[in-house]
Amino acid sequence: MKNINFILLALLLAACNQAQQATSPTAILVSDVNIIDVRNGKILENHQVMIDSGKIQGISQNIENTEGYQTKIQGKGKFMLPGLAEMHAHIPSPPTSNERTEDVLFLYLSNGITTIRGMLGHPSHLELREKAKNGDITSPRIFTSSPSLNGNTVTSKEEAISKVTAYQKAGYDFLKIHPGIQLEVFDQIVRTSNEVGIPFAGHVPVDVGIRHALKSKYASIDHVDGFLEGLVPETANVKPDQNGFFGYNFTPLADTTGIDELVQMSKENKVWIVPTQSLFTRWFAPTNGEELLAQPEMQYMTKETLDQWRTRKQQSTGPDTGFDADQWLQFDAIRRQLMKKLQDGGHGMLLGSDAPQLFNVPGFSIHHEIDAMEDAGLTPLEILQSGTINPAVYFGMDDQFGEIKEGLEADLIIVNANPLENLDALQEISGVMRQGKWYSKEAIDQRLREIAEKIKQK
C-alpha cells in the first residue's frame, strides 16, 4: 500500500512539473481583468488572459499553474480593450531624422494607439511598415497611403494610369486623393485603381463633388469632405471653388434636409467616414491658440512646429480673416448633424484626428477627437467601435486584430476605469501591449520624459 501511495505521489509530482514546463517562458498572464467586448459592449469580469508569441492564446475565468508564468500583469479592477486605431495619421518623412520619426510613432503608441493609417505616403514609410510588422521598431501597426494625388501631381489621364499603376506595384496600401483633381482625371484614377486592385481614400475634389465621389466608392472619405457643399441647392448658383474651408463659406446656403440622401448614398456605396472633427474644434474654430499651445502635450512638439501652428491659426481664424464665430456655430452644428446621421444610417465611422495638424499632437489628439465625436451624439460604444473593430473590418483583417479574442494579435490597452461609462478613462492607461510586448505606464512615462527633454534641448 505504501508503494502504491509513493507511486501515485511521484506521478502527481511529475504531472505538476510537466504542467509547469508546458508554460512557455515567454508567456504573459494578465489576471483578473475585466474584458470589454467591443462588438456588443458586454464585459467579461475577472478573466485571465494568456498571451504568447504576439497573440492572445487563451481567455478563461480560471487558470491553474499560474506559477508557470514568469511575467504576470495584475488586472484586478482594471479594464482591457483592443488597441485603438488612428485612421487619419501622418508619419514624418525625410528630411526628418529616423530618431524623431520613431519618437512620433511612440507618441501614438503611448496613448493606446496600436494601428495607424498614414495619410500622406512616402517611400520611406514602406520600410517603416515592414520594420513595425517585424517588431524592429517600437511602433503601431502601419498602413500607408501613396504619395498625394492632387491637381498638381496628376494632370492627365495618362499620368493617372502611370501613377496609380506605379503606386500599386510599389506596395502602398491605398491611394491618397487630395483636392484639385479634374473630373476626367479622377475618373481615370478610379478606373485604373479598380483594374489593378488598390483602394483610394481622402478628400473630395471640387470638380468631382460628393455624389459622384460616393458613387465612385471611396474606401473612406475623410474630414466629412464635400458633404456640406452637397447640401447647397443648385438654385444658389454658387461657384464650387469658393467653398472655403471644407464648405464653411457655403454654410448659410446649406439645406440640411438633403443629409438623409447623402447618408443613404454612403451606405449603398459602402463608404466609410473619418470625421477628423477635432480639426474643426481646435484649428478652424473660435478657440484661443495660445491656450491650446499651453496644453501639456505640446511639450512633445518642436518649437518650429508650434510657431507654425500659431501663425497658421492667425491666418485661418484671426481678426483679419473674415472668420465669423456665429457662422462657425452653424457650420459646426451641420457637421455634428452629419456625423450623427452617418453613424446611425451610413456605412460606418472610423476614428481619426489628422495628427499632427494644427494643435493635434500625435497620440494625444485622439482624445480630442473622441470628445468631439461624443459631442456629436455618438455613444461610448460606437466611438470605441470606430477605433477598434471598425478599422479591422475596414482593412479586412478582423480575423487578426480589433477585439480581445483568442487567436488574434495581442494589441491591447489596459485602463484603470470603464471607458463605456466615461471615455476619459482611455487617458488613464495602465499599460499598452503591441505584438505581445508590454509597455507599462512607468515605461511609457519615462520614454515621454526623454522625448520632451530632447525637444527642450533643441
Model confidence at 266, pLDDT cuts 50, 70, 90, reads very high
What is the model's pLDDT at position 6? 45
Model confidence at 359, pLDDT cuts 50, 70, 90, reads very high
Q: How far apart are CA 167 and CA 147, in angstroms?
A: 8
Model confidence at 2, pLDDT cuts 50, 70, 90, reads very low
What is the model's pLDDT at position 317? 94
**What is the pLDDT averaged over residues 9-18?**
42
Instruction: Sort 237 into a burial class: Cβ within 10 Å, 0-12 / 13-18 / 19+.
Output: exposed
Q: How far apart are CA 27 and CA 7, in angstroms?
A: 32
Model confidence at 147, pLDDT cuts 50, 70, 90, reads very high
The residue written with cell numbers 446649406 in the block is 254
Instruction: Sort 11 into a burial class: Cβ within 10 Å, 0-12 / 13-18 / 19+.
Output: exposed
Q: What is the pTM of this model?
A: 0.93
Q: What confidence tens digit (pLDDT) does each residue in 388-427 have?
A: 999 999 999 999 999 999 999 999 999 999 999 999 999 9
**pLDDT higher than 60, residue 21:** no
What is the model's pLDDT at position 421? 97
What is the model's pLDDT at position 16? 42
What is the model's pLDDT at position 17? 41
**What is the pLDDT averaged over residues 24-50?**
96
Within 10 Å of residue 421's Cβ, how many Cβ atoms? 10
Q: What percentage of residues in the chain have a pLDDT greater than 70?
A: 95
Q: Is the peptide bond before 95 cis (omega within 30 degrees of 0)?
A: yes
**What is the pLDDT averaged over residues 221-249?**
95
Q: Is 51 within 8 Å of 35 (Cβ atoms)?
A: no
**pLDDT higher than 90, residue 125:** yes
HSE of 434, CA atoms in CB hemisphere, 13 A: 28
**What is the pLDDT averaged over residues 340-345?**
98
Mean pLDDT of the chain: 94
**What is the pLDDT averaged over residues 69-81?**
95
What is the model's pLDDT at position 63? 83
Q: Is 81 left (phi over 0), alpha (psi -120 to 50) or beta?
A: beta
Q: How far apart are CA 51 and CA 336, in angstroms?
A: 40
HSE of 107, CA atoms in CB hemisphere, 13 A: 28
Q: What domains are defined for the chain?
A: 28-82+410-458 (2.30.40.10), 84-401 (3.20.20.140)
**What is the pLDDT averaged over residues 349-373?**
97
Q: Is 193 within 8 Å of 219 (Cβ atoms)?
A: no
At 350 the three-state DSSP class reads coil
> Which of the pair, 437 or 67, is modelled with greater confidence?
437
**pLDDT higher than 50, residue 8:** no
> Which of the pair, 320 or 138, is modelled with greater confidence?
138
Q: What confidence tens digit (pLDDT) does each residue in 289-299 have?
A: 999 999 999 99
Q: How far apart are CA 147 and CA 131, in angstroms?
A: 20
Q: Rounded to the nearest 10 degrees, how much is the dihedral formed by the CA atoms of 275, 276, 278, 279? A: -120
**What is the pLDDT averaged over residues 146-150?**
98
Model confidence at 66, pLDDT cuts 50, 70, 90, reads confident
Q: Which three cell numbers stand for residue 412?
A: 491591447
What is the model's pLDDT at position 19? 41
Q: How far apart are CA 457 and CA 439, in angstroms?
A: 26
Largest CA distance in the chain: 102
Q: Is the peptide bond before 240 cis (omega within 30 degrees of 0)?
A: no
For residue 220, what are the β-bridge partners? Answer: 201, 272
What is the model's pLDDT at position 247? 95
What is the model's pLDDT at position 164? 98
Q: What confidence tens digit (pLDDT) does each residue in 166-217 have?
A: 999 999 999 999 999 999 999 999 999 999 999 999 999 999 999 999 999 9
Residues in the chain: 458
What is the model's pLDDT at position 7? 44
Q: How far apart are CA 113 and CA 307, in angstroms?
A: 27
What is the model's pLDDT at position 233? 95
What is the model's pLDDT at position 1? 46
Radius of gyration of the chain from Cα atoms? 24
**pLDDT higher than 80, residue 327:** yes
Model confidence at 24, pLDDT cuts 50, 70, 90, reads confident
**What is the pLDDT averaged over residues 33-39?**
98
